[in-house]
Each structure stands twice: as structure tokens, then as C-alpha cells.
Amino acid sequence: MDKTKEKEEISFEIKRHIGNLGEPNPRGWRRELNVVSWNGRDGKLDIRDWSEDHSKMSKGVTLTREEASTLASLLESYLKG
């Protein structure tokens, strides 16, 4: 059995830029909140660092609407303190 993995090509499209979560880091990358379509699928809420021209990205977190709603409730509770 061949245990080597071929590098899978990943396609993405930023469907909607919602906002920036801070200032650019020293490399010029910025953490953003976007709706991103991965490999032609429906868009999901996405948090990750992007290069200035969006040609490169870091690892990030992708959330469905339901997960985002749960996160919003948890953050609201946390921020109330």
C-alpha cells in the first residue's frame, strides 16, 4: 500500500469580506473574518491570516452558520463577564 499523500489542489473564493480583526503583522498579513467558498462549496464563515493580495493564507477556523451562531452566544456570555 502506498502511504504517500499527493498534495491536493485547494481552490477558494472570498465571497464576502466582513472585517479585519486587527492590524497587519510584521509580514503585512492581516487576520480577517470572511465568507469563503472552498473547492466550489457553499461559503462558510472563515477566520485566518491572509497576505496582502490574498494569494497566501495561514491555517484558520471555518464555521457553519450554526457554529457561528453558537460562537456568538458563547462570546456574548464571555464578554458580559
What pTM does this model have? 0.84
pLDDT (tens digit, 9 = 90+) per residue, 6-53?
Answer: 678 899 999 999 999 999 999 999 999 999 999 999 999 999 999 999
Locate the domains of the chain by residue range. 12-51+58-80
Q: What is the pLDDT of residue 66?
A: 97
Class for the domain spanning 12-51+58-80 = mainly beta
Nearby residues of 13 by Cβ (< 8 Å), 6 or more positions away: 36, 37
Please tell me the predicted confidence (pLDDT) of residue 4: 59
- pLDDT value at position 45? 98
Contact criterion met (CB below 8 Å) for 30 and 24: yes
- 72 pLDDT exceeds 80? yes
